[in-house]
Each structure stands twice: as structure tokens, then as C-alpha cells.
């Protein structure tokens, strides 16, 4: 799929203190009767803060699942070891690779936005690779669920499987959100309205999904 790029996307509006809201900064007191333009300290764009706040919430959710797993395992006579479907390890490779490709894409797009217009290196190309890897991961996870299902291991078969399904599905749902974010980034890039902070926030989210998956895999491998 070719992406046409008539012009580099708009660079983020520099948040000069003289413009609009959002310049509170951390400690930029305007001295009484002084010139407000003296203030140099200004806030980061909301998206970069917002994504960290969002990731904090997701971390809490998975921390809750983890503690549920630990407590549930603690006093359980019915805790059984299960073998994780091997396809998960392939999926791990996919998601790690997608992080790498996204990082390449991010740098290319950033350079592109910075004015390095190189028609030969379509900056969206690596985004498509990332998207493909992300979708392959979801497909791989689906394959793992179907495989378990075919072997007769359902959600309620044993608590180990319950946790397996709950954690992997919860992660996949969040990852699909990330895929939506990437699609948005591609769309905005095409329309030349992409902001640098959107790109950074989306890639932070995506990397976090990768880290979260590696953590979950470790947790499942160790506990289940």
C-alpha cells in the first residue's frame, strides 16, 4: 500500500508561553506586574503525560490480576501445572520484533517531520510492518486459544486455564487498542496532520504492551 506524502506533517506547535492554555509548567511563577513572557518553563504536551497516566492505570489492572493469581494459588489444593501452547514463544518474538520496527518507524517519521524529506524512504513503511507484526501476534494468540480449546481446556476447566485465558485475553484487548492507535497514526500521517506527541504516545503504549506481554509470559510460565 503506497502512502502519498505531499508534504511533511506539521511539526507540533511550539508551546510558547504567550499562547493559549497549558503553560503552567511546574514552577513558573509570574512575578507580580512582571512580563509573563519571561516565563520559560512550560508543560509537556498533554499526550505525553496522558499516556503515562493511562499506562499507570493498565499497570494497576494487571497488578490486580497478578495478586489475584498469587493469592488464588496460595491456598489452593487444585492448582495444577499446565503446559503453555508453544506458539506463545513465537508470538513473543513477533511482539518484540514489532517494537523494534516501530522504533525504526518512529525515528524515520520524526526525521521526516524534522524536514528530511527522502521520497525513497517512505516513513510509513515500517509502520505497516509493525501493524502486520501486531496483527500476527493477535492471530497467534487466537491460535493458542483455539488450540487449547480443541484439546478440551476451556475457561472453567481448571483455575490455571482460567487465569491463562483471562490474562492473555485482557492483554490482547489492550493490544488491539494499540493497533487502533497505530492505524490512526498512519491515517494522520497520510493527511499530514500527525503530531509528534501522538506518534510518541502511541509508540510508548505499544512498547508497553510488549513489555507487559513479556512479563505476563514470565508470570504464566513460572506460576501456571
Partner 1 sequence: MHDMSAPAAHHGAPTSFIRKHVFSLDHKVIGKQYYALALLAALIGMALSWIMRIHLGWGNFAIPGLHLLSSTGAPGNVLTPEYYLQLMTMHGTIMVFFVLTTAPFAAFGNFFLPIQTGAEDMPFPHFNMMSFWVTFVGFWVLIASFFVGDGPTLGGWTQYAPLSAIGSVGGPGQGLGVVLWATSIAIFCIGQLLGSLNFITTTLDMRCKGMSLMRLPLTAWAWFITSVMGLTAFAVLMPACILLILDHVAGTSFFVASNLVINDQVLPHSGGSTLLWQHLFWFFGHPEVYIAIVPGMGIVSHVLITNMRKPMLSHRVLIYSMAALAVLSYMVYGHHMFVSGMNPVSSLAFSFPTLVITIPSTIVVLMWLGSLYGSKLQINSASLFSLGFISMFISGGVSGFFLAQPSIDIMLHATYFVVGHFHLVMGVAAMFGIFAGTYFWFPKMTGRMMSEPLGKAHFWLSFVGAYCIFMPFHYLGIAGNVRRYQAFTDDYLIPLIPVHKFITIAALITGFAQLIFVYNLIYSRFKGPVETDNPWQGTSLEWSTATPPPHNNFGATMPVVYHDPYQYSVEGASSDFVMQTSPEKINNPNEEK
What residues line the site for partner 1 (CB under 8 A)?
12-13, 17, 20-33, 36, 39, 43-47, 49-51, 53-54, 56-58, 60-61, 63-65, 67-68, 71-72, 74-79, 155-156, 159, 162, 166, 170, 177, 180-181, 184, 188, 195-198, 201-202
The smaller minimum CB distance to partner 1, of residues 41 and 118, is found at 41
Smallest gap, in angstroms, from Cβ of residue 223 to partner 1?
A: 14
Smallest gap, in angstroms, from Cβ of residue 205 to partner 1?
A: 8
Distances (CA, A) of 180 to 27, 68, 206, 211: 36, 29, 11, 19
The smaller minimum CB distance to partner 1, of residues 58 and 138, is found at 58
Give the Cα separation of 61 and 55 in Å (integer).
10
Smallest gap, in angstroms, from Cβ of residue 154 to partner 1?
A: 8
Give the Cα separation of 31 and 35 in Å (integer).
8
Give the Cα separation of 161 and 163 in Å (integer).
5
Smallest gap, in angstroms, from Cβ of residue 90 to partner 1?
A: 27
The smaller minimum CB distance to partner 1, of residues 149 and 188, is found at 188
The smaller minimum CB distance to partner 1, of residues 7 and 78, is found at 78
Give the Cα separation of 96 and 216 in Å (integer).
14
Give the Cα separation of 151 and 167 in Å (integer).
19
Amino acid at each position: 500500500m503506497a502512502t502519498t506524502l505531499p508534504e511533511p506533517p506539521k511539526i507540533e506547535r511550539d508551546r510558547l508561553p504567550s499562547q493559549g492554555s497549558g503553560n503552567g509548567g511546574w514552577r513558573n511563577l509570574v512575578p507580580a506586574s512582571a512580563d509573563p513572557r519571561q516565563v520559560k518553563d512550560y508543560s509537556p504536551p498533554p499526550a505525553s503525560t496522558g499516556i503515562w497516566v493511562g499506562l499507570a492505570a493498565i499497570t494497576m489492572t494487571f497488578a490486580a490480576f497478578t495478586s489475584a493469581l498469587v493469592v488464588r494459588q496460595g491456598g489452593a489444593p487444585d492448582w495444577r501445572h499446565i503446559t503453555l501452547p508453544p506458539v506463545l514463544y513465537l508470538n513473543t518474538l513477533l511482539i518484540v520484533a514489532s517494537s523494534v520496527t516501530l522504533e525504526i518507524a518512529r525515528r524515520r517519521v520524526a526525521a521526516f517531520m524534522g524536514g528530511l524529506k527522502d521520497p525513497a524512504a517512505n516513513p510509513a513503511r515500517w509502520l505497516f510492518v509493525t501493524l502486520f507484526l501486531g496483527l500476527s501476534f493477535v492471530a497467534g494468540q487466537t491460535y493458542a486459544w483455539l488450540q487449547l480449546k480443541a484439546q478440551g481446556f476451556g475457561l472453567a476447566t481448571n483455575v490455571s486455564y482460567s487465569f491463562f485465558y483471562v490474562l492473555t485475553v485482557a492483554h490482547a484487548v489492550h493490544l488491539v487498542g494499540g493497533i487502533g492507535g497505530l492505524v490512526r497514526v498512519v491515517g494522520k500521517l497520510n493527511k499530514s496532520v500527525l503530531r509528534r506527541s501522538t506518534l510518541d504516545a502511541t509508540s510508548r503504549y505499544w512498547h508497553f504492551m510488549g513489555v507487559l506481554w513479556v512479563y505476563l509470559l514470565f508470570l504464566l510460565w513460572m506460576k501456571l
